[in-house]
Amino acid sequence: MSSPIGNRLRELRKAQGKSLAVISGLAGISPSYLSRLESGDRALDRRSLLVSLANALEVAPSEITGAAAITMGELEEDHSLNQVRLALLAISMGDPRGEVLPLEALMVRASDLLAKQRECDYALVGTLLPQLIRDLHASLDARRDEREILRLLVATHVQGTQAWLGDIGASMDLAWQAVSLAQRAAERLDEPLYGAVSAFGTSFGLIGAGGFDMAARTLADAAPGTATLADMQVSGMLSLTSSLVSAAQKDNTQRVAALDYAADLAAHVGEGNNALWFGFGPSNVGVWRMSVALEAGEHADAVKIAETVNPDALPTPTRRSAYYREYGRALARFPKRRDEAVLMLRQAEKISPARIHRHPFMRSILAELVAKGTKQATIGRELRGMAYRAGLRV
C-alpha cells in the first residue's frame, strides 16, 4: 500500500515538474530509493532524510509530514485542542482570564497534570491543561510567589503543553508558542537549571523544523552543571538531545561523545529519579541510544541495544511506549523479523495509541509493513488493525 508521506512526496515532486533523478540527486539518495519512499515500499523514518528531501523540494519538513497527519477529532484528547489553542492565544494577548490562586494549589495541579502526561493519559491532560495555563499566567501577573510560579511555568509548558501537543500530533507552530512562553519565563527567572529545561524544549522545536544547527547551539549554550542530582539529570537530557542532533548532522564523533557523557551521568544518578519530569537514568539512556542509532541508520545496532534494556525498569509509561516503538522501528528493517516488529509496535500502541497513530514515522512504517505483509495471519490482523486505527487505507 502507498503511505501518506509517500503520496505527499510524489505530489510535491510532480507539482514542481521535477524528475525522480533530480530530487533524489539533490537529497543525496538514489532515484530507486526515492521511488520506494514514494510508493510506500520503504518508510521515511529519519529526521535527517526528511530534512534533505524538504530541502530538495524547497519546502518545510512539515509540508511532507503535515499533510499526512490523521484527521484531528478522532481521539478523545483532540476535543481539548482548541481550548489549549485559545489559552495560548489569550496569554499572547496579555489577557489570560484565569484565577489568581495560591502557590500550593497551582503546584498540586501542575504536578498532577505532568504525572498524567507521563502516564499517557492525554485525554485528561487535555482537559486540565487550558485552565491551568490561564491560572498560572494570571497568578504570575498578580506578582505573588513570582519565582516559584516562573519555575512552574517552565516545567509545565515544556513537559506538559509542548509534550502533549507533540504526542497528539498537533501543529508544530502551536507547540512553538508553548516553547516561547517557557523561554520567556526562564529568561525572567535567570536560573541555569530552568534555562536548561527551556533549552531542551526549544531544541526539540527546532529539531522538528529541521533546524539542527540552531538546536545544537541552543543545547551548547545551556549550562545547568552537575552540582546536584537535578542538575545531573537535566545535563544528561541535554546531552542525549545533543547526540540525536549530531546523528542527524552525521557527526559521529560528537554523537558518541554525547551519549557516553549521558551514560556516565546516568550511572551516577541511578534509576528511579525524576527531576523535572525527565525520568533520566540508565534505562532511559538505553532508549535514547536506540533512537540515536535509528537516526544514524544503524538498525542492527538499535536492535542489539533494545535487547539490553529492561522496559520494566523504565520510569513511566511514556518511556516504555518509546522503547517498544523504537524497537519496532528497528525490527521493521529486517524481513525475517517483521512479525516481531508488529508485536512491538502493537505493545507501544496499547500503552499510548497517539504515539503510534499520530507520529508520521510510525504511520510510514505501518504502511510499509502492510505493503510487505507478514507471515502469520494473526499478526497480519494486528497490523491491519493498527494501520486502520492510524487512519491508513487497508
pLDDT at 118 over 90: yes
Rounded Cα distance between 263 and 292, Å, is: 13
Residue by residue, DSSP assigns 25-83 as HHHTS-HHHHHHHHHTSS----HHHHHHHHHHHTS-HHHHHGGGSPPTTSSGGGGGHHH
Q: Which of 8-12, 148-152, 153-157, 253-257 has the lowest mean pLDDT?
A: 8-12
Rounded Cα distance between 364 and 346, Å, is: 15
pLDDT for 336: 95
Rounded Cα distance between 137 and 132, Å, is: 9
Tens digits of residue pLDDT in 140-199: 999 989 999 999 999 999 999 999 999 999 989 999 999 999 999 999 999 999 999 999
Nearest of 136, 70, 65 to residue 106 by alpha carbon: 136
Where is pLDDT greater, at 390 or 293? 293
Tens digits of residue pLDDT in 37-83: 888 888 888 888 998 998 899 888 888 886 444 444 466 778 899 99
Rounded Cα distance between 387 and 122, Å, is: 21
Helix, coil or strand: residue 281: coil
pLDDT for 186: 98
Mean pLDDT in residue range 349-372 = 92
Answer for the pair 198, 183: CB distance below 8 angstroms, yes or no: yes
pLDDT for 66: 65
DSSP symbol at 158 = I
Rounded Cα distance between 270 and 284, Å, is: 10
